[in-house]
Amino acid sequence: MKKLGISIYPEHSTVEKDKAYIALAHKYGFKKIFTCLLSVEGDKETIIREFKESIQFANELGMEVMVDITPRIFNKLGISYDDLSFFGDLGVYGIRLDMGFTGNEESLMTYNPYNLKIEITMSNATSYLDNIMAYKPKISNLVGSHNFYPHRYAGLSYDHFVKCTKQFKKHGIPTAAFISSNDATFGPWPVTEGLCTLEMHRALPIETQAKHLFATELINEVIIANAYASEEELKQLSMLNSEKLTFNVELYNTISELERKIVLEEPHFYRGDVSDYLIRSTQSRVKYKQEEFKPTYTPNIRRGDILIENELYGQYKGELQIALRDMENSGKTNVVGHIVKEEIFLLDYLEPWGKFAFLIK
């Protein structure tokens, strides 16, 4: 099941602001909340008092709070891996280990009596997970998430991301990754150059980041790492269909009403006999076989163009296509629109028989 999440940083805000943000995210269907105890100062009582109100509020809304922590904080608070009552009292859904133990401790922690989820980092491509698995953890309480990176150019490469994530997917362990709001102003540290897992996402619109992570079919949960995302960003993410790749598009004013209907309203799937040049969605040519498709705008074709064959193409008229490569246009193909430039790379994630849709941006 795919989930969306937000992050809160109580050290850098107020309970009132955090609760308002949590309520707004809940309004748009968000289920997860990430927060951290990486650098909290003070004793147990102070920490509980500062965190508990927001956590209880989230729990009342049915949201799941994951708190990030390091072994150093364990020691500072007098918490042991074999006694997680502090987190049980806090009311969190689980704890994320920013730095791990030896493997045996993580395994033992998954059997905690509070049924807390134990989340481990996914970004290092070591034998860490295999080591934990050797100690026979309670799999249902083990989850994984990538790190996020506030320093520009320090985020993960895509190939490394895939390698790391597949280690977790082969064991059936739920996975999470972080995206960055373009409207948020802070995270856990002073550096604020975006806060994403993948470096390639740093300058992209937030919904494009999420579409990409879901399109990889490697990530179960997508969490906004910085705070506070705007309501418009939350709304955009809430409208995503994680099971069907939807491209933001610009349609040209030469498009006919019927062509517009085909693009925006008809169901589309990637025909299975694959071409290097085109993604073909052919049902519209059958449904609208008797309709006219006059030649309109027929320039040479660029990758990412949305095409509908006109009547000069005989039996192909009415067929919708997406261009995968630049091509010469014989005049038989109407170019009716274009996928926005930030999302053209998502074409690489659409597989034969995959369902897809278009949305005017």
Mean pLDDT of the chain: 94
Task: Indicate if the pLDDT at residue 212 is higher than 70.
Answer: yes
Instruction: Kindly indicate the confidence band of residue 314, based on its pLDDT and cuts at 50, 70 and 90.
Output: very high
The two structure tokens encoding residue 141: 């309480």
Residue 262 sits in the same domain as residue 212: no
Task: Indicate if the pLDDT at residue 101 is higher than 90.
Answer: no
E strands present in the chain: 3-7, 32-36, 64-69, 94-97, 117-121, 142-145, 176-179, 221-224, 245-251, 268-269, 278-281, 305-309, 320-323, 333-339, 355-360
Of residues 339 and 77, more confidence is placed in 339
Which sign does the torsion angle of CA 223, 71, 123, 126 carry?
A: negative
Distance CA 146, CA 164 (A): 9
pLDDT tens profile 114-165:
999 999 999 998 899 999 999 999 999 999 999 999 999 999 999 999 999 9
| Whole-number pLDDT of residue 40 | 58
Task: Indicate if the pLDDT at residue 317 is higher than 80.
Answer: yes
Q: How many residues does the chain have?
A: 361
Of 243, 263, 293, at which residue does a domain stop?
Answer: 243
Residue 94 sits in the same domain as residue 233: yes
Domain of 342 in residue numbering reads as 247-360
Of 195, 219, 243, at which residue does a domain stop?
Answer: 243
Largest Cα–Cα distance in the chain?
Answer: 77
pLDDT tens profile 38-95:
665 666 677 677 789 999 999 999 999 999 987 778 887 788 888 999 899 899 999 9
Residue 72 sits in the same domain as residue 205: yes
CATH number at residue 37: 3.20.20.70
DSSP assignment, residue 49?
H
Residue 204 sits in the same domain as residue 99: yes
Residue 218 sits in the same domain as residue 293: no
Print burial letters for 53-80: b (CB count within 10 Å at least 16), e (below 16).
ebbebbeebebbbbbbbbeebbebeebe
Residue 280 sits in the same domain as residue 150: no
Residue 50 sits in the same domain as residue 157: yes
Residue pair 324/303 in contact (Cβ under 8 Å)? The answer is: yes
Residue 188 sits in the same domain as residue 334: no
Residue 165 sits in the same domain as residue 16: yes
Residue 232 sits in the same domain as residue 278: no
Residue 238 sits in the same domain as residue 261: no
Task: Indicate if the pLDDT at residue 319 is higher than 80.
Answer: yes
- One-letter amino acid for residue 127 of the chain: S
Domain count, the chain: 2
The order of strands in the sheet holding 320-323 is: 268-269, 355-360, 245-251, 333-339, 305-309, 320-323, 278-281
CATH number at residue 260: 2.40.100.10
- One-letter amino acid for residue 156 of the chain: L
Phi-psi region of 202 (alpha: psi -120 to 50; beta: other; left: phi over 0): alpha
Of 196, 224, 243, at which residue does a domain stop?
Answer: 243
Residue 318 sits in the same domain as residue 184: no
